[in-house]
Structure 1
Amino acid sequence: MRKLFCTLAALSIGLSSAAYASPKEETIAFVKQAAAEVKAGKKEQVIQEVNAKNERWYKGELYLIVLDAQGNHLAHPTNQKLLGKSMLDLPDVDGKLFRKERVDIANGKGEGWVDYKYKNPQSGQVEEKSLYVLKAGDVILSAGVYK
């Protein structure tokens, strides 16, 4: 009985902490889940699912982007016109080369955050956004959270 109680208590703590994860923590976990799948040999499946707006990788404002190591878009659920393009020299509304910064972080330290402004697909407005970037094998994975 005591073992059952301890198990239920631990489960309850785990569920409550997951329910209160910050948007940044949720974003990191989301990208790391994709990285685990890429590392397990499912890179092409992840790319196909992202481009098909599969609910695993597209959750409204939270969505996965997949680039190759040079910064070319392999998958983007909200803007298919970006596929095959790098856009590294295209800045945000304030002139920040956030796409280049994303590639530099991935190919440098392997992971990190990039702050910039981007059109929110839910609101249609340009908003401040933080993008978590993670290198997984030969691709760059990222997802962002609007502030």
Structure 2
Amino acid sequence: MRNSGMALMAALATMLTVPALAATEKGTADEAIAMTRKAVAFLSKEGPDAALTAFTGKDPRFNDRDLYVIVYGQDGKCLAHGANPKLVGKDLIENQDTDGKFYIRERVEAAKSKSSFWLDYKFTNPTTKKIEPKSTYCETSTDKIVCVGIYK
């Protein structure tokens, strides 16, 4: 009986520890690229209304730990944001990070000449609530810029 009680306690401790570790685990560059590509394909197949709603609505296919989809128009207007729905519909072209970097403007400029790219800036991590260095992978899709970033 004592051994089965200890085994049960060990199992419970493992069950409680694994979700805590998963919550602190950061997304990887490969995962960001894969999620971006999945979002671009979903946008193409389902159309902008369904896709932008899914991205902003925290659909688990497009929101995992600190990874989430962001979509901008070529003018810098936020069309979907998986971490902060309050940004949707806003013109963010003049947004700056804590170092004064115009990261949305840079994203829009890069999208004019590249079909995919990475950009570095600082942003609030939704899991830690702290401003952290971030690297965001983006792909252009017709008139939209679809991105997923990783926190370093």
Superposed pair shares fold, TM > 0.5:
yes
1:124 to 129, 134, 140: 129
The 5 A counterparts of 1:33-44 are: 33-44=38-49
Question: Structure 2 length as normaliser, TM-score?
Answer: 0.77
Counterpart secondary structure, 1:64: strand
Question: How many residues end up aligned between the 2 structures?
Answer: 126
| TM alignment of 1:79-90, pairs within 5 A | 79-90=84-95
Secondary structure of residue in 1 paired with 2:47: helix
Task: Work out whether residues 68 and 138 of structure 1, in 8 Å CA contact, stay in contact via their aligned partners in 2.
Answer: yes
Q: What do you get for the CA RMSD once the two structures are aligned?
A: 1.4
1:50 to 44, 50, 55: 55
2:18 aligns with: none
* 2-structure distance, mates of 1:58, 1:117: 19
* Separation of aligned partners in 1, 2:62 and 2:112: 23
Q: Is the 8 A contact 2:135 2:151 kept in 1?
A: yes
> Does residue 146 in structure 1 map to residue 125 in structure 2?
no
Match of 2:70 among 56, 65, 69: 65
Q: CA–CA distance in 2 between the matches of 1:40 and 1:32?
A: 12
TM-score of the pair, normalised by structure 1: 0.80
Which amino acid letter does the alignment assign opposite residue 105 of structure 1?
A: A
Partner Cα separation in structure 2 for residue 139 and residue 23 of structure 1: 23
Distance (whole Å) between structure 2 residues aligned to residue 135 and residue 70 of structure 1 = 13
Kept in 1, the 8 Å contact 2:79–2:88? The answer is yes
Write the letter of the residue equivalent to 1:61.
D
Deviation, structure 1 residue 97 = 0.7
Letter in 2 for 1:95: G
Identity of paired residues, percent?
35
Larger radius of gyration: 2
**What is the one-letter code of the residue matched to 1:60?**
R
